[in-house]
Amino acid sequence: MLANISPGGIAKATDPPPPALTAAHLRCEYLENPLAVDVDHPRLSWELQAIDPTSRGLGQADYQIVVKPCTDAGKPSAKELWDSGWVHSSRTNQIEYAGPVLPPGQCVVWQVRVRDNAGGTSAWSKPASWSTGLRTAEPWSGARWIGDPTPPPKDGFEPLPAPMLRRDFSFPKDKRIERAIAYASALGVYELRINGHRIGDHELAPEWTDYTKRVQYQAYDVTDTLRAGDNCIGAILGDGWYAGKIGLTGIVPKGPPRAIYGRQPRLLACLKVFFTDGTGATVVTDGSWRATLEGPIRTADIMDGETYDARREMPGWDEPGFDASAWKPALIAEPPKASLIAQPDEPIRVNREIKPIAITEPHPGVYVVDMGQNMVGWCRIRLVGSTGRPITLRHAEVLNPDGTIYTANLRGAHQTDRCTPASEAEFVFEPRFTYHGFRYVEITGVRVKPALDAIVGRVANSSAPEVGAFECSEPMLNRLWQNILWTQRGNLMGVPTDCPQRDERCGWMGDILAFAPTACFNMDMAAFLTKWVPDTRDAQAADGRFADFSPQPYDPNVRFSGVPAWGDAGVFVPWTAYRFYGDTRILAGQYPAAVRWIEYILAHNPDHLWTHSRGNDYGDWLNADTLKLAGWPATGAEVPKRVFATMFFYRSTQIVADMARILGHDEDARRYAAQADAIREAFNKAYVSPEGVIEGDTQAGYALALQFGLLPEKLQPIAVDRMLARFKPYDGQISTGFHSTLPLMEQLSGRDHNDDAYRLLLNRRMPSWGYEIDHGATTVWERWDGYVEGRGQGGFQDPGMNSFAHYAIGAVGEWMYSTMLGIRPGAPGFETIIIHPHPGPGVRWAQGSYRSIRGPITCRWEQDPREFRLSVHIPPNTTARIVLPAKTAAGVHLDNAPIGNSKDVTHVEPHADGLSLQVGSGAYTFVVRQSQEPE
C-alpha cells in the first residue's frame, strides 16, 4: 500500500498510511435515524467498507464515536455530549452510548471514525441521528386519551363507524418553525393528518401488542407540514386488533366475537413545535378536540374488511376553518394501565405495488382479477359505479375449478371491502384499516368491466430490510425461494403470524421457532425481534408457561399455553437473534422468562421425560406421516408426542445453559448443563432401543434426535440408516412436519447423503415443494397436501385449516442459504463466517448474498465434470473459514496460482468434506480440479 504523498509529491516516511476503510450504514438500536428511542443507553452500529474493493484482510483496530446535541433544526451543535475517545476494539455493533442519560425528546447527532489494521485513520462518517422518546407521562404535556363520546350499544358487538377527530390551533404569524415532532398512539389503529395531509407512511399503527401491558407510540417529523398562523390536526381511528376481530375470536369458549381488549378506539397525541427564536408550543389531545362518527368509513375490521361510503366524505375536515359545529366534544377516556413505549422496530408500510396479469368474467357482472402473486395488503381501484350502489371486492388465495374465487378456507374472515360511489363518475378507493391475504379479487357492482390498469395491489408488511438473495440454475428453486420470501412478507404484520388470510393471523410460536433462521437470512429481523420477543414475555403464564401464540389475549393461565416446540420459541427465537446479531441484550431480557419455562417443565416432569403438562400438544404439526392419500402408508404415524416433547425439552435446556454462560451466570450454566445431560440420558434410556431404534421409528424422529445431538456417538450412524430406511414405505418421499423438515435436510447433507437432500428439494411429486409450485403456488402452503389433483372438494384439503401462505415448511430456506450456498455464522453476529457450500446433483450453479450486521457476504459456486469454482466476498473486519471439495491443497488455485503461494490464505487443513482454509476480508475465487491425483 502506498504512503501518503506530501505536497511536494514525494512520500515521507513519517506520513501516516492512507485510510483503507470507511464507516457507513450507521444505525441506532438497529434503526436509521430513529425519532423515538426509549432506551437510556442505546446501542450503535456501523458497517465497514473498503476504500479499495480489491483489498484483502482489512480490519478495524480502533474506533472513536462522538455524539452532539442537535439544534432545534436537527443540526449538530458545537457542544459534545459524549466522546468515546479512541477505543482499541474491532467491535462495530452493540456498542452502548455511554454519555449522560438524555432528556425526553432530545435529538442528537453522532459520527464514527476508525483506524484500520494497517494504521490508517478514516474520515469521520456521514452524520446519523437519534432522538429520545417520551418515556414518562410528564413529557406528554398533559395529553389525554380521547375518542368519540357516543356510547356503544349495551348488547351486541357489531362494528361501529370509524371515529374522526380534529382540532384547530394557531401560531403567531411572525413565528418561524424550526422543527416539529408529532407523537401519537391509539387503542385501535390510527391515521394522523395535519393541514389536509396524511402524516407518515405507517400502516395499522400502533400495531398489535397486549394492550393491557404495552401500547406502542410513533414519532413523526412534521416540520414541513405546519405553518405560521392557522393549522389543523386530525385523526381517523379504526378498530384494529384492539376493538375488532382478532385471531380465533369467537372460537374461544364463551368469548365475544370481537373487542377482546376494548369496545371503542381511542387516540393519544402530542405535537411539539420549536421556533427559530428559541420558544416553542405544544398541542395535545384533550377536551378541546371535536369528534364524529358520521364519516365515510362505516366499518373497518382487520379480518372482515372495510366499508366506505363516498357520499359521507367531508372535504376539508382536516384543514383549518372547517365547520365542525355539528361534531361533538371529544370524550376524555381513562388511560390504559399498560406502559407506553416507542415502537422499536420498522413499521408496517406499503413496500411495493404489483399489477394484475388478467381479468376474467366467470359469471355476468362478476369480474375476477388475478394479481399473479399471492400477496398481503389490499387494492387501490379506479372504477366506475352507480351512485349509491356498493361496489364489492372479495379477496381469495385460489380459484374454484369454475374460475370463481375459493373462500371456504377463510373460515370467519370475510376479507371483503365495500365502497359506495357518490356519483356516476370514475372514482378511486383504497381501504385504510384492514389487510387481506389474496391473489384473486372478485369485483361486483361496477357498470363496466374494469380495465387491467385500474387495479393496483398494495403490498404491506413490517418493513424489515430485505438482506438476502438467492439464485441458481434450476428455475423451480428460484421460484421456491421467492415463494418463501413472499410468505415471510405476508406474515410479518407487527407480529410473526401463521397466516394472513383466515380468521387466525396469530403470532404462533411453533411456526416462528422453525422459521426464525430463514427469516433472518431473508430480512434484517433484529429490530422486529426486539419488539416481538417481549410480546412472548407479556404472554407468559404466571407459572412459567410460554403461550402458544404471542400476543395472547385469551389468558395463558387458562388456555393456549405450555406446548412443546411452541413454548420453546421463547428460548429458541432469542437465541437465533443472538446467533445472527450478537445481541446479548435480547438474551438478558429474555433469560428470566426462559428459566421460568424450563423450571415449569422440570416441576411437572422430575424424571426428565416430558410426559406431563403439555397443553394442546400439537407435536410435529402437519407431519406428512399422517397424510390420508391413495397409496400413502395407512400405518404412517408422526413422532410420538412424548418423544417429540422431550427432544425440545433437552434442546431448550441446553440453550438456557448457554445463555447463562454468556451472561455470566456461571452457577446457572453448570446447573442447566447438568439438567440437559440428565434429559439426554433419560431420553436414550426410555425411547431408544439398544439397536438404535427411536420410539415411533420415523424420519422426523431420527432427524430431530440427530439435529439436537441427543444420541450417543455409536448410535448416530444407525439412526442415519434408520432415517434413510423410513423413505422406503413412502416411495422415497419426505414425511416430515413443521419442526422436522429442516433437520431432515440438514442431517442428510451433513451425514454424507447430500444427494438425497437435493433429490427431496428438486422432487415434484406430492408431497414436495415442487408439487406446490407445479400447481400454481406463489407462496408456501400450510400443509403438503393443501391441494391434490384429482381429489374431491375441488382438490382442496379440509377448509377448516388450509392456508396457502404459511411459512413453516418454508424453513428449508435456511438450508438453501446455510447448506446449499454454505453461508452461516462462525461466531455470533458473523464476526467469523463459515462458507461451506454443498453442491449437489441437478444444480450446475448457485449464488446468493446475505447482508450481515457486519456487512454483505456473497457466494457463488459452479460445478462441471472438470472443476468446481467458488467465488466469495467477505466483509471487512471479519474472517472466514472456507471448506472446499478438494483432496489436497495442490488441487486448489487462487489468483491463478496454488493456494500455498498466497499470503491471503492461512490455516489450510484437512476437513471431513475436503479442505478447510481461513481467509480475511475481500474477494476470492477458488478453482478446484475435480479429478485430482493424490500427492
Give catalytic residue positions.
504, 782
Q: How far apart are the first and last CA of the chain?
A: 37
Instruction: Copy the grid coordinates of residue 250.
Output: 369467537
What SS3 class is residue 353?
A: strand
Parallel, antiparallel, or unpaired for β 914-919 and 879-884? antiparallel
Residue 119: how many other CB atoms lie within 10 Å: 13
Grid-cell match 361534531, residue found: 327
Please give the Cα distance from 736 to 87 (Å, whole number): 50
Whole-angstrom distance, CA of residue 234 vs CA of residue 271: 12
What is the residue type of 489?
R
The alpha carbon dihedral of 699, 702, 706, 710 has a sign of positive
Query: Closest by alpha carbon to 283, among 162, 144, 149, 148?
Result: 144
State the residue for C-alpha cell 405553518: 227
Distance CA 303, CA 880 (A): 47
Query: Does residue 861 contact residue 870 with C-beta atoms inside 8 Å?
Result: yes
DSSP secondary structure letter of residue 799 = G
- Secondary structure string (H, E, C) spanning 710-745: CCCHHHHHHHHHHHHHCCHHHCCCCCCCCCCHHHHH
Cα separation, 367 vs 389, in Å, equals 17
Q: Around 215, how many Cα atoms within 13 Å sit in the side-chain half-sphere?
A: 24
Taking the C-alpha atoms of residue 104 and residue 837, their distance in angstroms, rounded to an integer, is 49
Please check whether residue 509 is in contact with residue 556, taking contact to mean a CB–CB distance below 8 angstroms. Answer: no
Residue 158: alpha-carbon gap to chain centroid? 33
User: Residues 92-110, buried b or exposed e (16+ Cβ, 10 A)?
Assistant: bbbbebebeebebbebbbb
d(CA 757, CA 749): 6
What's the residue count for the chain?
935
- Please answer whether residues 322 and 143 qualify as being in contact, where contact means their C-beta atoms are separated by less than 8 angstroms: no
For residue 9, the tally of other CB atoms under 10 A from its CB is 6
Q: Is cis: bond before 839, omega within 30 of 0? A: no
Cα Rg of the chain, angstroms: 29
Nearest Cα residue to 534 out of 590, 599, 594:
590
Distance CA 330, CA 290 (A): 5
CA distance 794 to 536: 39
- Residue 810 is given by DSSP the state G
Bridge-based pairing state of the strands 922-929 and 892-894:
antiparallel
Phi, then psi, of 906 in degrees rounded to 5: -130, 165
Residues whose CB is less than 8 angstroms from the CB of residue 339 and which lie 6 or more positions away in sequence, other chains included: 213, 214, 215
Dump the DSSP string for 344-409.
-SPPEEEEEEE---EEEEEETTEEEEEEEEEEEEEEEEEEE--TTPPEEEEEESEE-TTSSEE-GG
C-alpha grid cell, residue 54: 480489491
Pairing of strands 82-83, 60-69: antiparallel
> Among candidates 520, 619, 511, 633, which has minimal Cα distance to 578?
520
* Residue 635 CB neighbours (<10 A): 7
For residue 5, what is the DSSP state? B
